[in-house]
Amino acid sequence: MKNKNLWRIVLPLVILAVLGGIWFFKNKPKDMTEQAKPPVNADFALHAKSIDLEKLKSYGLPIMIDFGADSCPPCREMAPILREVNAEYQGRVIVVYGDVGRYPKLAESFPLEVIPTQFFFTKDGKPYAPQNPQKLRMQQFLSKDTGEHVLTAHQGYLGKKQMLEVFAEMGVPDVK
Higher confidence at residue 20 or residue 33?
20
Same domain, 7 and 50: no
| Domains held by the chain: number | 2
Active site residues: 72, 75
Contacts of 114 (CB under 8 A, 6+ apart): 155, 156
Contact, 55 vs 96, CB < 8 A? Answer: no
DSSP letter for 174, please. Answer: P
4 has pLDDT over 90: no
* Alpha helix ranges (H) inside 58-152: 73-88, 133-136
Same domain, 5 and 83: no
User: In whole angstroms, what is the distance from residue 176 CA to residue 163 CA?
Assistant: 16
Same domain, 20 and 67: no
Contacts of 1 (CB under 8 A, 6+ apart): none
User: In whole angstroms, what is the distance from residue 155 CA to residue 70 CA?
Assistant: 17
pLDDT (tens digit per residue) in 48-98 = 999 999 999 999 999 999 999 999 999 999 999 999 999 999 999 999 999
User: In whole angstroms, what is the distance from residue 55 CA to residue 116 CA?
Assistant: 23
Residue 6 structural domain:
1-30
Q: What is the CATH number of the domain that holds 153?
A: 3.40.30.10
